[in-house]
Amino acid sequence: MAIDPSDGGKVVRCRAPAKINLYLHVLGRRSDGYHNIDSLIVFAGVSDQVSVSRSQRLGLRLAGPFAHDMETMDWANNLVVVAARALSEVCGESPSVALSLQKNLPVAAGLGGGSSDAAATLRALAELWTLDISDEQLRAVAEGLGADVPACLAQNPVAVSGRGEIITQAPELPAAWLVLANPGIPLVTAEVFRWFSPTGSQAAPLKEAPKDLGAMVEALARRSNDLEQPAITLVPQIAEVIEMLSKSEGCMLARMSGSGATCFGIFSDEASADAAAESIGNEQDTWWVSSVQMLRPGLAQ
């Protein structure tokens, strides 16, 4: 988070890092229409950025390489705007703020971009308004915005259960690099769930810290992303992305994140990840590809 008062008005900037589901078990449908899940979530060193400042009225400015994918959406329904209104109602502040969203992450991509943007907005506005608000109160606001927003508020590795609202700190994870690859096809979460068939998955939270990256990968290999198959049914290119990542030198595990279509490969070092990302990007120049560090406590943006 950064504060810039140089223009005479306080501007708070907050990064909204990409969310990665290292595994995702879908346990069953709930009476409220959501599904119970079991997932291990981490964050990556690539992000959107939210900026907030006081204004005469509520407004949103979009910028960045993926801003054009959001221009046809009703700005009032953007989660950044919804988050600002929700927090203002709780704390009694006027929602008259200028919001700016630098959209660096692909939209509808399984990276929790909208949820991370909303969480960043809550953190930024809490600073702008100098709110005396507890983490629990802020999390309660986050829960009302969407299933992934509470996890994105944490910004550290977390175990997630319930519909996403039950957040516990994950065991300490080893350092890792990720190659993220998206074939450029948006995939709506609700549509993926419509094609989902129960797999009989059970909750399998990671209870102990892996001794090293190899042990973490072994543990992840015993788990899965239950949404991968229905997502591939809708976007067959996802299978190609996973295959290319898997065949990259140094890739220890390749899997889809969230509801897709972004997939990730796990690497032990920056050089191997950079080389894989460059090779995939050269071969598939219409894909979005990024080599990033997996964020750990102390590395959060």
pLDDT tens, residue by residue, 249-289: 999 999 999 999 999 999 999 999 999 999 999 999 999 99
What pLDDT, on a 0 to 100 scale, did the predictor assign at position 115? 96
**What confidence score (pLDDT) does residue 124 get?**
97
* 80 within 8 A of 100, measured Cβ to Cβ: no
- Cα-to-chain-centroid distance, residue 184: 17
CB-CB contact of 119 with 152 (8 Å)? yes
pLDDT digits (tens, 9 = 90+) for 44-63: 999 999 999 999 999 999 99
For residue 71, is pLDDT > 90?
no
- Pairs from 214-221 (Cβ < 8 Å, separation ≥ 24): 214/252, 215/174, 216/173, 216/174, 216/176, 217/252, 217/253, 217/266, 220/22, 220/23, 220/40, 220/253, 220/255, 220/266, 221/253
Backbone angles phi, psi at 60, to 5 degrees: -130, 130
Question: Which residues touch 246 (CB under 8 Å, ≥6 apart)?
Answer: 254, 265
Backbone angles phi, psi at 296, to 5 degrees: -125, 165
The pLDDT assigned to 6 comes to 52
**CATH hierarchy code of domain 177-295:** 3.30.70.890
Distance in angstroms (rounded) separating the CA atoms of residues 301 and 21 = 18
**2-23+42-157 adopts what CATH topology?**
Ribosomal Protein S5; domain 2 (3.30.230)
Helix H or strand E segment including 247: helix 237-247
Coil, helix or strand at residue 216: helix
> How high is the mean pLDDT of the chain?
94
Residue 117 pLDDT more than 80? yes
Confidence of residue 5 (pLDDT cuts 50, 70, 90): low
What pLDDT score was predicted for residue 279?
98
Percent of the chain with pLDDT over 70: 96
Q: Quick one: CA dihedral 214, 219, 221, 224, positive or negative?
A: negative
pLDDT of residue 97: 97
93 CB-near residues (< 8 Å, 6+ apart): 87, 125, 129, 131
- Cβ atoms of 50 and 80 within 8 Å: the answer is yes
CB atoms within 10 A of CB 261: 29
80-118 b/e (C-beta count within 10 Å ≥ 16 → b)? bbbbbebbbebbebebebbbbbbbbbbebbbbbbbbbbb
CA 274 – CA 150 distance, rounded (Å) = 31
Confidence of residue 26 (pLDDT cuts 50, 70, 90): very high
Alpha carbon distance, N-terminus to C-terminus of the chain = 7
- Do 104 and 69 contact (CB within 8 A), yes or no? no
Q: Please, which residues bridge with residue 166 across strands? A: 161
Query: Which stretches does DSSP call E strand in the chain?
Result: 2-4, 11-29, 35-54, 59-63, 97-102, 158-161, 166-169, 177-182, 253-256, 263-267, 288-295
d(CA 24, CA 41): 9
Q: Name the residue ranges covered by the structural domains of the chain.
A: 2-23+42-157, 177-295
Question: Look-up: residue for tokens 């543990």?
Answer: 219
Q: Check residue 300 and give its pLDDT.
A: 47
Q: What's the pLDDT at 199?
A: 84
Is 80 exceeded by the pLDDT of residue 167? yes
Predicted confidence (pLDDT) per residue in 174-229, tens digit? 999 999 999 999 999 999 999 999 888 999 999 999 999 999 999 999 999 999 99
Residues designated catalytic: 19, 148
Same fold, 2-23+42-157 and 177-295: no
